[in-house]
Amino acid sequence: MRRRVLFHRNFLGYTGGHGKVFDYYQHALAHAGWQPVVWFRHGAEHRDNPWRQHAVPGETLWRPDAADALFLAGRDWQSYPEDIPGVPVINLVQHVRHADPHSPAHAFLGRRAVRICVSHAVADAIRSTGRVNGPVEVIEAALRMPASLLPPSRRHGVFIGALKQQALGRELARRLIAAGHAVDLCDNFVARDDYLRRMGSADIAVLLPNVTEGFYLPALEAMALGCATVVPDCIGNRAYLQPERNALTPLLHVDSLVAAVERLREASLAAALRHAGRETADRFSLESERAAFHRILDRLHLLWQP
C-alpha cells in the first residue's frame, strides 16, 4: 500500500515556486511507494494552476494528522503550527532569504524537517544561521519545459524578462530601442507557455532577477531555448552560471546591461553563448531531480530519526 504525502498550496497565480512544488508532486506520483495528495487553501480552480491542468484531485480537508508525510514549502508552515509526532516533514527551501532574520520564513528553520534546498547557495545560507533543525539535502532545481513548445521558425530582437525589476526593465527597453534593437519587454505576469514562447523567439534574452535568488530558473530556461543569455549574478544562479562562457553577467544596472547586449552584436560571441547555454541546460534534467528525490523518499524514515 502506498503511503500518503500531503502537499499544501495557496495558489493566487503561477510563480516559479509553485512550478517547482508541482514538479515534486509529479516526482512523488512517479514513486511506487508514495501517493501524493494536494490541499489548496485558495486557487484550486485558477486557470494557471498546473495541478488543475493535469486534472489532479485535491483534498477536501486539511488533515496533516492523516498523512504519512508532509511536503511544505515557503509559508506552508503557517498551516502546520504544531508538530505531529511520527509525521515526517519534507521542506522545500527555494530562496537564500530563508536565512535572513527579517524574513518570515526565517522563523521556520527551527521546526524539524528534512530540508531540500534547490541550490548549494541556499543550503549554505540556511546552515550559516545555526538554526536549522534536521538534515539538509541539496537537489539542484531542474527544468520542466512544455512538450508543446515548438522551436521558433526564426529569431529576432531582445527579450527582457523584467517582472521582478519593472522600472529597470522599462528603462533598459527604452535605451535598447533607441540603439536600434527590436525589443520584447515582459514586465507583467503572462501564462508560462506564452512567456517561454516569447523568450524563445528572441536572439538575446536579458533576465532581471532580484538581487538575491535561490536558483532563478528563467535564465536557465533561456539557455535551454537557445538564446544568448544576459543575466546578473544573484547568488542562486551560480549553480549554473559560467560568466563569459554560457552567459554574460553584467551588473544589475542599465548601463552595464546595455553594454552587455551591445557586445552580442558580435555573432561569434552570441553563438558561443548559445552553444554552451544549451549544454548547461541539458544537465538540469527532471529525471535527475526525480531520482534524487526518490532516494530521499526511500530513506525518509532514517533521515527523520533524531
CA distance 6 to 22: 12
> How many angstroms separate the Cα of 204 from the Cα of each of 9, 200, 261?
34, 9, 8
Tell me the three cell numbers of residue 8.
499544501
The phi and psi torsions of 84 (rounded to 5 degrees) equal: -105, 115
Q: Which residue stretches of the chain have pLDDT < 70? A: 150-151, 153
The phi and psi torsions of 207 (rounded to 5 degrees) equal: -110, 135
> How many angstroms separate the Cα of 71 from the Cα of each of 11, 112, 216?
15, 12, 21
The DSSP secondary-structure symbol of 241 reads -
pLDDT at 25: 97
pLDDT at 58: 83
The phi and psi torsions of 199 (rounded to 5 degrees) equal: -65, -40
CA distance 52 to 59: 13
pLDDT at 60: 87
The phi and psi torsions of 166 (rounded to 5 degrees) equal: -65, -45
pLDDT at 151: 66
CA distance 211 to 231: 11
| Cα-trace Rg, the chain | 20
